[in-house]
């Protein structure tokens, strides 16, 4: 995966200015990079990722533009500065060694011989080319943009006075502006995160790479391909199976990041035909895995459905639009009933290695998944997420009987069905399937036993955790992301050691109280209402709640010029609440340790009180 | 011996014997233990983990649902049978950790006494994860902590099914983290749980025909230090991760990264992580084609290279060995180096540029943990623990000053009265009269002090009494701040990528196909 550019996938292009542009590689289409130029998608399809291309100079501006792959040495030479304009390998090597720089600064007799900025004149008139002239140059130039840069540099009066470093900086700045280059990048989570952050960070709750990495680690996200779903001690609830519960208000970015770590984000690569042609056998790294054949079968699935559900073979409507979206004809599936029918793969039917998304609207907002070939409104059955992604609304979770899709639609006998019009029949099947899917997902979710809970939501976290923490298995991880610290501070407080002690005391008090005074209902109600305020969540269910934040700071590494970047993006710091779900023992538990001797201080010990 | 599935990847519902479990006492106080139901020579109750929150017998930890709160047991730690002096020292010196080496204990008595539950003390039994392991692993070298490895995994796009080279395995925290990430099934036994329901079985047959063999994720770990490599290997076996990790004891500067296994292309790496003192010396082995000797020489002969550099690397004649790239030729190779010093970074980056690595970026990770607490301030907190008893508001301060003044006034008055009384008495004595009754005066004194603000002693008493009925857990201002100690610098993280080799012929082929 992500070795070569494939047709009809989303890719990212990095322009010299550093800006990212997302495009889809539809064959035979022109990709327009604005002032940088236009090229045909076929010029990059089939080529490896991470190459940098440059538009070649051409006599005829109307001709098909030609691209050239810029070698690494040339790219580095520009970054390093003027000394390395000629990309000779040997020269490139000794450049970074400090020797060169030291020579520049101090001569043999200790005399300072480095040029400095004493003579620099800050005046726009030093550039003799006028803006109009530069515009002219830009219009005339059809090539890589190097000629423009050369002319601009040549017309700069003070270029000789510039220090080496400032000249390098100047050249770099001009290259960013005028070079006609782009780098082809695979559209993966870090690139997508960067892209959305630049444009509309609020849509992904200002998540950064570093926060996403932390979320995935702390939530213990990994492929559950071989995990087993097991029955808990009580014999009813299930446990494990590589299933994670997600509350995602980032338009699906968190879901995508988790799916990537589980190996179910990218569609199976359909390279078999293309690669075998030129004998370039591809090693298929990280093929989506899982134990249902459904997700691994390519476009024409022959494997029978795997689930144990009562899924009847439904002859029509291969794509199952989520929750009654208007029935648009699926583009990828043959609709002709005459053709040998495709087996229907029930959506969201995988039992292990799954993500269950809780959403607050009628439909989940997973729009960012479209970049990975998954449209949550009209999913392709060949995509791993088709079976491994489950979605249900809060209403369906908390009160399924209030949701109409949870009720079984009327069963029409086969005979009557055959007399119906095909459109009606299709509708009938669609409804049945929707019900089956909803019921399956809702029942399964309510049984709990999830491996972990990941929350990135604008909703009050405590209300989410109240409902979701009980669904996590013992020893499972709970991770809550928030762009701001305040909601998580509040959350920590609800799980604080002091509150936990008080909660246990109140539980005991209530038990004793009930025994003593039966009949005084009013007072009890009051107590309960009070408890709801004091203990919105059961604080004994989470162990070691902690709060953390991380930020990666970028540095510039150039010979003699290594330092942290001068500016970077501010905004939300991004905080993470992590805790482990535990199973408290019934009854009173005495703590031990830190007794006597030492002064007891609040907040030093998270586990002393029960 | 090793469990079928690693508890790191699928711990199951509950703990089991001969598998790793982690006893969590406090947030950062965790004790890893390979649980054993065998009897022990030390305790009648079998193997025991001793902590300052009580003793926990292995038997009370086995077959417990993960996450269970475990009560401490009564264990006679004073009179162990058959203990030697050496054992005692071990147990005293290293505390519970000494008990982890339970493997050395030979079952002598065979019968394990059932332990009774102690009156106090508890811990939680949690399944191992790379995060909990990182917090409690035996330190051998500097540990790569969670914030760093999370970012590295994210930046290098490590995914299930990838192959990763890790050089400088060190304490193994990174090894565990990446083993989890690349895991997508064990090679050899494809999806071992596949037969769990019959329907899947018939699915696999048709699937196997359709699909080329799935690539399984793997970690190729290199460690220069032999005992450390051995220790890591043992650890991985006891953690059930050995099928995912190949540990090699080798000097990678000299001998590179190619390993000889069934897979002739191994390591066939997609991602490389170098936690070495001189990563630039290892880069010559991480190329797609033999590097030009001039480049190798210029990098190796850098005068500032540490003298620790093995001289054998240049002197051993290795000419006959044909070049073999350890990189996966079909994917972009992602590289990360982890160096604490900026000089190392500069050399590494220079070498990366010479070898044609691209998108070179350097980061430092700033991570901090925050503590949340309630800060109670006010005169009502006088004498209470964990609070600041100074006035909370200006009004409170003024009131307190008034109170003090009021009390002082009354007491001065009383003092004066007393003095006058003494004088009067003395005068009366002089005159030979009988002293007036003292009792009535005492009454008057009481009356006067009644309306007064309470004394310090009374205040403390009252605050203590009131605190019992107060809900202290929700009083005060909720604050958060950085924890007392933070790691301000771990290491510099340098990232780079090496694209797939692309020749003119390849380009010609692609052009013919697509244009």
Per-residue tokens: A170: 């100047």
Radius of gyration of chain A (CA): 31
Nearest by CB to A223, which of B126, B183, B302? B183
Whether residues B165 and B280 fall in one domain: yes
Nearest 5 degrees, angle CA B4-CA B6-CA B11? 105
In angstroms, rounded to a whole number, what is the distance separating the alpha carbons of residues B9 and A226?
9
Give the closest-approach CA distance of A286 to chain B in angstroms. 4
Quick one: average pLDDT of A339-368? 84
* Choice between A506 and A138, residue whose per-residue pLDDT is larger: A506
Q: Point out the least confidently predicted range of A134-148, A369-383, A485-499, B274-288.
A: A134-148
Asked if residues A9 and A27 have their Cβ atoms less than 8 Å apart, the reply is no
Residue A194 lies in a domain: no
* Chain segment A205-227, per-residue pLDDT in tens: 999 999 999 999 999 999 987 77
Q: What is the ipTM of this complex?
A: 0.83
pLDDT by position in tens, chain B (length 515): 444 688 999 888 888 888 899 999 988 899 998 888 877 767 777 788 888 888 888 888 998 899 999 988 887 766 554 444 444 444 444 444 434 444 444 444 456 667 778 778 889 999 999 999 999 999 888 899 999 999 999 999 999 999 999 998 989 999 999 999 999 887 654 443 333 333 333 433 334 333 445 788 999 999 999 999 999 999 999 999 999 999 999 999 999 998 877 666 778 999 999 999 999 999 999 999 888 888 888 777 655 544 444 444 444 444 556 788 899 998 999 999 999 999 999 999 999 999 999 999 999 999 999 999 999 999 888 888 888 999 999 999 999 999 989 888 888 888 898 899 999 989 888 887 765 555 555 666 666 666 777 888 888 888 888 888 888 888 889 999 999 988 899 999 999 999 998 888 888 888 888 87
Whether residues B96 and B240 fall in one domain: no
Predicted TM-score (pTM) above 0.90: no
Whether residues B346 and B384 fall in one domain: no
In this structure, the strands spanning B163-167 and B271-274 are: parallel
Give the closest-approach CA distance of A404 to chain B in angstroms. 31
Range of the domain at A111: 10-186
The separation between the first and the last C-alpha atoms of chain B, rounded to the nearest angstrom, is 58
Asked if residues A484 and A572 have their Cβ atoms less than 8 Å apart, the reply is yes
Residue B416 lies in a domain: yes
Whether residues B158 and B299 fall in one domain: yes
Q: Point out the domain boundary residue: A420, A445, A477.
A: A477
In angstroms, rounded to a whole number, what is the distance separating the alpha carbons of residues B131 and A218?
7
Whether residues B241 and B288 fall in one domain: yes
In angstroms, rounded to a whole number, what is the distance separating the alpha carbons of residues B323 and B321?
6
In this structure, the strands spanning B218-223 and B163-167 are: parallel
* pLDDT computed for residue B3 by the predictor: 44
In angstroms, rounded to a whole number, what is the distance separating the alpha carbons of residues A392 and A358?
5
Whether residues A181 and A206 fall in one domain: no
* Chain segment A94-120, per-residue pLDDT in tens: 333 333 333 344 445 545 455 566 666
Contact A607 B153 (CB under 8 A): no
Residue B415 lies in a domain: yes
Nearest CA to A558 out of A115, A166, A69, A3 is that of A166
Residue B409 lies in a domain: yes
Maximal C-alpha separation, chain A = 105
Kindly give, in sequence order, each residue whose CB lies less than 8 Å from that of residue B286, ignoring residues fewer than 6 positions away: B257, B272, B326, B327, B333, B335, B355, B498
Contact A289 B185 (CB under 8 A): yes
Nearest by CB to A474, which of B68, B364, B473? B68
Give the closest-approach CA distance of B422 to chain A in angstroms. 48
Q: Point out the domain boundary residue: B128, B155, B173.
A: B128
Burial class for A377, CB neighbours closer than 10 Å (0-12, 13-18, 19+): middle
Which residues in chain B (169-198) have CB-CB distances under 8 A to chain A? 177, 180-181, 183-186, 191-194, 196-197
Whether residues A328 and A433 fall in one domain: yes
How many structural domains are present in chain A? 3
Residue B206 lies in a domain: no
Give the closest-approach CA distance of A575 to chain B in angstroms. 10
Range of the domain at B329: 133-187+215-309+323-367+490-514
Whether residues A259 and A124 fall in one domain: no
Whether residues B43 and B183 fall in one domain: no
Give the closest-approach CA distance of A532 to chain B in angstroms. 13
* pLDDT computed for residue A61 by the predictor: 65
Whether residues A76 and A208 fall in one domain: no
Whether residues B336 and B423 fall in one domain: no
In angstroms, rounded to a whole number, what is the distance separating the alpha carbons of residues B52 and B333?
48
Which residues in chain B (314-333) have CB-CB distances under 8 A to chain A? 328, 330-332
Whether residues B49 and B167 fall in one domain: no
* Choice between A527 and A522, residue whose per-residue pLDDT is larger: A527
Whether residues A473 and A522 fall in one domain: no
Task: Determine how many CB atoms are found less than 10 A away from the CB of residue A551.
Answer: 19
* Chain segment A328-350, per-residue pLDDT in tens: 333 344 444 444 455 678 888 88
Nearest by CB to B200, which of A282, A291, A546? A291
Nearest by CB to B146, which of A217, A476, A490? A217
In angstroms, rounded to a whole number, what is the distance separating the alpha carbons of residues A534 and A532?
6
Whether residues B124 and B182 fall in one domain: no
Residue A472 lies in a domain: yes
In angstroms, rounded to a whole number, what is the distance separating the alpha carbons of residues A348 and A556?
46
Contact B206 A306 (CB under 8 A): no
Give the closest-approach CA distance of A400 to chain B in angstroms. 28
Residue B203 lies in a domain: no
Q: Point out the domain boundary residue: B105, B128, B151.
A: B128
Residue B193 lies in a domain: no
Per-residue tokens: A241: 């199976």
Nearest CA to A96 out of A557, A576, A595, A578 is that of A557
pLDDT band per the 50, 70, 90 thresholds, residue A435: very high
> Is A260's pLDDT higher than 90?
yes
Whether residues A119 and A217 fall in one domain: no
Q: Classify A454 as helix, strand or coil.
A: strand
Contact A222 B183 (CB under 8 A): yes
Kindly give, in sequence order, each residue whose CB lies less than 8 Å from that of residue A173, ignoring residues fewer than 6 positions away: none
* CA trace torsion A536, A537, A543, A545 (10° rounding): -50
* Chain segment A18-68, per-residue pLDDT in tens: 899 999 999 999 999 887 788 999 999 999 999 999 888 776 666 778 888
Per-residue tokens: B45: 């109750």
Q: Point out the domain boundary residue: B107, B128, B149.
A: B128
Nearest by CB to A261, which of B9, B181, B500? B181
Residue A256 lies in a domain: yes
* pLDDT computed for residue A238 by the predictor: 76
Q: B179 vs A1, B21, B146, B331, B487, CA distance in Å?
A: 19, 18, 14, 19, 25
Whether residues B174 and B95 fall in one domain: no
Residue A391 lies in a domain: yes
Task: Determine how many CB atoms are found less than 10 A away from the CB of residue B401.
Answer: 11
In angstroms, rounded to a whole number, what is the distance separating the alpha carbons of residues B110 and B44?
10
Nearest CA to A243 out of A344, A351, A338 is that of A351
Whether residues B510 and B497 fall in one domain: yes
DSSP string, A12-31: EEE-TTS-EEEEE--TT-EE
In this structure, the strands spanning A563-564 and B69-74 are: unpaired
Per-residue tokens: B279: 């990563």
* pLDDT computed for residue B52 by the predictor: 84
Whether residues A221 and A117 fall in one domain: no
Mutate to test the interface with B, among A222, A297, A501 (most CBs of B within 10 A): A222
Kind and range of the H or E element at A451? strand A450-456
Asked if residues A403 and A311 have their Cβ atoms less than 8 Å apart, the reply is no
Backbone angles phi and psi of A341, in degrees to 5: -70, 145
> Is A84's pLDDT higher than 50?
no
Residue B192 lies in a domain: no
Mean predicted lDDT score pLDDT of chain A: 76
In angstroms, rounded to a whole number, what is the distance separating the alpha carbons of residues A189 and A212?
9
Residue A525 lies in a domain: yes
Q: Point out the domain boundary residue: A477, A507, A537.
A: A477
SS (H, E, C) B79-104: CCCCCCHHHHHHHHHHCHHHHHCHHH
Whether residues A436 and A366 fall in one domain: yes
Residue A437 lies in a domain: yes
Task: Determine how many CB atoms are found less than 10 A away from the CB of residue A586.
Answer: 8
Q: A434 vs A234, A323, A358, CA distance in Å?
A: 30, 6, 17
> Which chain B residues are within 8 Å of A224, Cβ to Cβ?
10
B365 touches chain A (CB under 8 A): yes
Q: Classify B31 as helix, strand or coil.
A: strand
* pLDDT computed for residue B396 by the predictor: 92
Asked if residues A221 and B158 have their Cβ atoms less than 8 Å apart, the reply is no
Size of interface A-B (CB pairs under 8 A): 415
Contact A585 B507 (CB under 8 A): no
Contact A260 B342 (CB under 8 A): no
Residue B85 lies in a domain: yes
Kind and range of the H or E element at B404? helix B394-431
Contact B215 A287 (CB under 8 A): yes
In angstroms, rounded to a whole number, what is the distance separating the alpha carbons of residues A37 and A43?
13
Whether residues A141 and A226 fall in one domain: no
In angstroms, rounded to a whole number, what is the distance separating the alpha carbons of residues B47 and B112?
9
> Is A298's pLDDT higher than 50?
no
Give the closest-approach CA distance of A294 to chain B in angstroms. 9
Per-residue tokens: A153: 């540099």
Instruction: Note the residue count of chain B.
Output: 515
- Comparing alpha-carbon positions, the chain A residue that sits nearest to B292 is A89
Kind and range of the H or E element at B235? helix B226-238
Asked if residues A89 and B294 have their Cβ atoms less than 8 Å apart, the reply is yes
Residue A2 lies in a domain: no
Backbone angles phi and psi of B364, in degrees to 5: -120, 150
How many structural domains are present in chain B? 3
In angstroms, rounded to a whole number, what is the distance separating the alpha carbons of residues B221 and B247?
5
Whether residues B139 and B121 fall in one domain: no
B10 touches chain A (CB under 8 A): yes
Task: Determine how many CB atoms are found less than 10 A away from the CB of residue B411.
Answer: 13
CATH at residue B301:
3.40.50.150
Whether residues A92 and A224 fall in one domain: no
* Choice between A190 and B200, residue whose per-residue pLDDT is larger: A190
In angstroms, rounded to a whole number, what is the distance separating the alpha carbons of residues B215 and B213?
6
Kindly give, in sequence order, each residue whose CB lies less than 8 Å from that of residue B380, ignoring residues fewer than 6 positions away: B463, B466
Contact A283 B350 (CB under 8 A): no
Nearest by CB to B26, which of A581, A589, A606? A606
Residue A573 lies in a domain: no
Whether residues A462 and A504 fall in one domain: no
Tell whether omega for the bond before B267 is within 30 degrees of 0, i.e. cis. yes
In angstroms, rounded to a whole number, what is the distance separating the alpha carbons of residues A596 and A600?
8
Kind and range of the H or E element at B479? strand B477-482
């Amino acid at each position: 995966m992500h070795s070569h550019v494939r047709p009809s996938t989303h890719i990212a292009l990095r322009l010299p200015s550093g800006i990212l542009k997302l495009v889809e590689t539809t064959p035979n289409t022109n990709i327009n990079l604005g002032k940088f130029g236009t090229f045909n998608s076929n010029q990059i399809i089939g080529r490896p990722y991470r190459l940098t291309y440059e538009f070649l100079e051409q006599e005829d501006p109307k001709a098909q533009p030609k691209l050239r792959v810029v070698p690494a040495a040339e790219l580095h030479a520009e970054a390093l500065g003027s000394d390395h304009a000629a990309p000779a390998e040997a020269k490139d090597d000794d450049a970074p060694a400090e020797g060169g720089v030291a020579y520049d600064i101090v001569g043999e007799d200790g005399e300072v011989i480095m040029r400095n900025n004493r003579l620099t004149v800050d005046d726009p008139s030093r550039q003799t080319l006028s803006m109009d002239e530069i515009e002219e140059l830009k219009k005339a130039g059809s090539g890589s943009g190097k000629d423009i840069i050369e002319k601009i540099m040549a017309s700069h009066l003070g270029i000789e006075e510039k220090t080496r470093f400032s000249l390098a900086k100047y050249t770099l700045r001009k290259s960013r502006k005028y070079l006609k280059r782009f780098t082809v990048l695979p559209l993966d989570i870090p690139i997508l995160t960067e892209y959305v952050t630049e444009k509309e960070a609020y849509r992904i709750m200002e998540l950064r790479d570093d926060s996403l990495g932390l979320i995935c680690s702390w939530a213990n996200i990994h492929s559950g391909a071989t995990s087993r779903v097991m029955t808990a001690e009580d014999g009813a609830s299930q446990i494990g199976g590589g299933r994670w519960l997600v509350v995602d208000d980032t338009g699906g970015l968190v879901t995508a990041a988790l799916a990537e770590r589980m190996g179910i984000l990218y569609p199976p690569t359909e390279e078999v035909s293309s690669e075998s042609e030129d004998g370039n056998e591809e090693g298929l790294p990280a093929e989506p895995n899982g134990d249902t054949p459904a997700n691994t079968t390519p476009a024409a699935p022959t494997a029978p459905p795997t689930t144990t559900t009562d899924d009847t073979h439904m002859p029509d409507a291969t794509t199952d639009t989520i929750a009654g979206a208007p029935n648009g004809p699926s583009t990828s599936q043959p609709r002709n009933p005459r053709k040998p029918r495709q087996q229907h793969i029930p959506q969201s039917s995988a039992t292990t290695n799954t993500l269950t998304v809780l959403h607050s609207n009628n439909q989940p907002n997973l729009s960012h998944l479209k970049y990975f070939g998954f449209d949550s409104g009209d999913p392709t059955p060949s995509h791993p997420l088709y079976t491994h992604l489950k979605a249900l609304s809060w209403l369906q979770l908390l009160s399924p009987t209030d949701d109409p899709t949870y009720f079984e639609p009327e069963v029409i006998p086969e005979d009557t069905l055959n007399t119906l019009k095909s459109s009606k029949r299709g509708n009938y099947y669609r409804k049945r399937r929707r019900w089956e899917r909803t019921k399956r997902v809702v029942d399964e979710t309510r049984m709990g036993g999830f491996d972990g809970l990941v929350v990135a939501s604008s909703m009050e976290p405590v209300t989410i955790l109240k409902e979701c923490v009980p669904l996590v298995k013992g020893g499972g991880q709970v991770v809550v992301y928030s762009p701001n610290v305040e909601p998580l501070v509040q959350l920590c407080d609800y799980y604080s050691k002091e509150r936990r002690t008080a909660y246990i005391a109140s539980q005991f008090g209530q038990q004793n109280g009930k025994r003593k005074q039966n009949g005084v209902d009013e007072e009890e109600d009051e107590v309960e209402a009070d408890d709801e305020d004091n203990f919105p969540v059961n604080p004994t269910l989470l162990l070691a709640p902690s709060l953390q934040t991380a930020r990666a700071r970028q540095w510039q590494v150039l010979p003699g010029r290594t330092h942290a970047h001068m500016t970077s993006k501010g905004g939300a710091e991004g905080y993470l609440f992590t805790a482990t779900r535990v199973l408290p023992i019934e009854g009173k538990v005495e703590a031990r340790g830190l007794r006597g001797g030492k002064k007891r201080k609040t907040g030093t010990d998270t586990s002393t009180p029960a | 011996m090793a469990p079928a599935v690693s508890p790191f990847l699928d711990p199951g519902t509950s703990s089991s014997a001969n598998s790793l479990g982690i006893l969590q006492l406090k947030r950062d106080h965790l004790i890893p233990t390979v649980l054993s139901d065998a009897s022990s020579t030390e305790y009648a109750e079998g193997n025991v983990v001793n902590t300052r929150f009580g003793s926990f017998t292995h038997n009370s930890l086995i077959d417990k649902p993960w996450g269970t709160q475990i009560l401490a047991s009564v264990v006679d730690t004073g009179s162990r049978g058959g203990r030697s002096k050496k054992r005692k020292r071990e147990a005293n010196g290293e505390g519970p950790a000494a008990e982890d080496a339970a493997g050395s204990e030979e079952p002598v008595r065979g019968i394990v006494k059932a332990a009774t539950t102690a009156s106090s003390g508890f811990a939680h039994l949690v399944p191992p994860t790379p995060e909990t392991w990182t917090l409690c692993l035996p330190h051998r070298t500097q540990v790569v902590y969670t914030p760093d490895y999370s970012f590295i995994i994210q930046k290098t796009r490590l995914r299930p099914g990838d192959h990763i080279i890790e050089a400088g395995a060190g304490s193994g925290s990174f090894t565990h983290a990446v083993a989890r990430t690349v895991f997508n099934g064990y090679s050899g036994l494809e999806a071992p749980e596949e037969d769990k329901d019959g329907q899947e079985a018939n699915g696999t047959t048709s699937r196997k025909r359709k699909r080329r063999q799935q690539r399984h994720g793997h970690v190729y770990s290199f460690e220069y230090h032999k005992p450390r490599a051995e220790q890591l290997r043992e650890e991985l076996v006891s953690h059930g991760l050995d099928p995912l990790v190949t540990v090699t004891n080798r000097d990678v500067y000299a001998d590179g990264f190619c390993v000889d296994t069934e897979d002739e292309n191994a390591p066939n790496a997609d991602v490389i992580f170098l936690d070495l003192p001189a990563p630039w010396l290892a880069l010559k082995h991480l190329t797609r084609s033999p590097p030009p000797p001039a480049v190798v020489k210029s990098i190796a002969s850098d005068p500032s290279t540490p003298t620790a550099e093995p001289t054998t690397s240049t002197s051993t004649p290795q000419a006959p060995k044909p070049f073999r790239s350890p990189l996966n030729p079909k994917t972009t190779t992602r590289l990360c180096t982890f160096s604490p010093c900026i000089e190392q970074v500069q050399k590494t980056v220079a070498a990366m540029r010479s070898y044609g690595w691209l998108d070179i970026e350097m980061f430092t990770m700033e991570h901090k943990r925050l503590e949340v607490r309630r800060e109670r301030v006010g005169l009502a907190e006088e004498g209470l623990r964990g609070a600041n008893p100074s006035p909370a508001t200006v009004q409170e301060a003024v009131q307190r000053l008034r109170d003090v003044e009021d009390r002082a006034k009354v007491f001065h008055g009383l003092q004066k009265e007393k003095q006058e009384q003494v004088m009067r008495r003395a005068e009366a004595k002089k005159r030979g009269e009988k002293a007036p009754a003292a009792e009535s005066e005492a009454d008057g004194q009481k009356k006067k002090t009644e309306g007064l603000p309470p004394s310090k002693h009374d205040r403390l008493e009252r605050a203590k009494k009131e605190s019992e009925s107060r809900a202290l857990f929700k009083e005060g201002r909720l604050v958060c701040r950085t924890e007392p100690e933070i790691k301000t610098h771990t290491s510099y993280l340098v990232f780079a990528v090496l694209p797939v080799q692309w020749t003119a012929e390849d380009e010609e082929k692609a052009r013919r196909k697509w244009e």
